[in-house]
Copies of this chain bind each other. A is one copy, B any other.
Amino acid sequence: MRTEVTLQGLQAALSPIRLARKSIGFVPTMGNLHQGHIALVKEAKKYCDVVVVSIFVNPSQFGAGEDFEKYPRTLEADSQLLADAGCDMIFAPSVQQMYGNKPQLTTVQVNDIANDLCGKSRPDHFTGVATVVTKLFNMVQPNAAFFGEKDWQQLAVIRHLTTDLCFSIDIIGVPIVRDEQGLALSSRNGYLSPEEKQTAIQIYKTLKMVEQEVKSGQATDLDAILQRGRDYLTQQGFVVDYLEARTPDLKMVTDLGQDMVVLAAAKLGSTRLIDNLQIKCSH
């Protein structure tokens, strides 16, 4: 496994792969990797000849007062995990490599779906994501790119920009990896105290409660179910950002019998956690 830290190095490393017409699978990450990321790498290995993982903590997707500075940088441990998982190449550029010396004037915006849910409390987040992913897609020029379903809204944004901007890249969503207690793996779980970690599992429990009520066939009011879920999370000590149901492509749910995704974002102390659960109702 090789590690490239410059765009030039990346291009030199990718050039013989392209010439040999090997397929390239791409997994963009911010590092501090866990088994959720490793699932992406393993999925990419199934689809593609060569797997490239980028590790870049992208400043433009963090808002003021968010955790850009303290976001954990753990390249050595990440490299070990990736080597074990069969990753072929790490691309770990600096901010200066990614954004250069000139001011960056160009942004990629995905309207509507980027303004819902997380976009409401993180107004520039998805523009930062969409812009850096567009840059990375143009640098790596992969055949397929792999994103975790934990960031369901991000996945929807990426799918839309890939279609809208006519990238010839397959976008593959990979299911959430959870710990034994149901907590969705996330780099931000590392911020939690042991007590907070115990509380954090209530997010998944709440999503499952919503699922059960929706599937019971007795409920008729989705808003009331979600409100009970929000109240439960608040009782557990969360500051709830949202608990909402959307169609899988993030449209409004109009009918309790539709397939849907229930999405949650809530803060425990200063740590913001997100999770979601697909509910398949239609037959």
Contacts and interface: CB of A to CB of B under 8 A. Distances in A.
A107 interface: yes
B112 A105 contact: yes
A105 B100 contact: no
A166 interface: yes
Interface string A77-113: 0000000000000000000000010111111111111
A138 B163 contact: no
A86 to B, nearest CB: 27
A105 B110 CA distance: 5
A167 interface: yes
Contacts of A22: none
Contacts of A107: 108-109, 111
A105 B160 contact: yes
A11 B167 CA distance: 12
Interface string A117-139: 00000000000001100111011
B111 A109 contact: no
A7 interface: yes
Contact of A108 (B106, B113, B114, B168): B106
A138 B167 contact: yes
B102 A163 contact: yes
A224 interface: no
A134 B100 contact: no
A100 B160 CA distance: 12
Contact of A7 (B102, B160, B166): B166
Contact of A106 (B11, B102, B136, B160): B160
A164 interface: yes
14 contacts: A7-B166, A100-B163, A102-B163, A103-B112, A106-B109, A106-B110, A106-B160, A106-B165, A107-B108, A107-B109, A131-B165, A136-B166, A138-B167, A139-B166
Interface of A: 7, 11, 100, 102-114, 130-131, 134-136, 138-139, 160-161, 163-168
The 10 closest A-B pairs by CB, nearest first: A106-B164, A138-B166, A135-B166, A106-B161, A105-B111, A106-B110, A139-B166, A105-B110, A104-B164, A107-B109
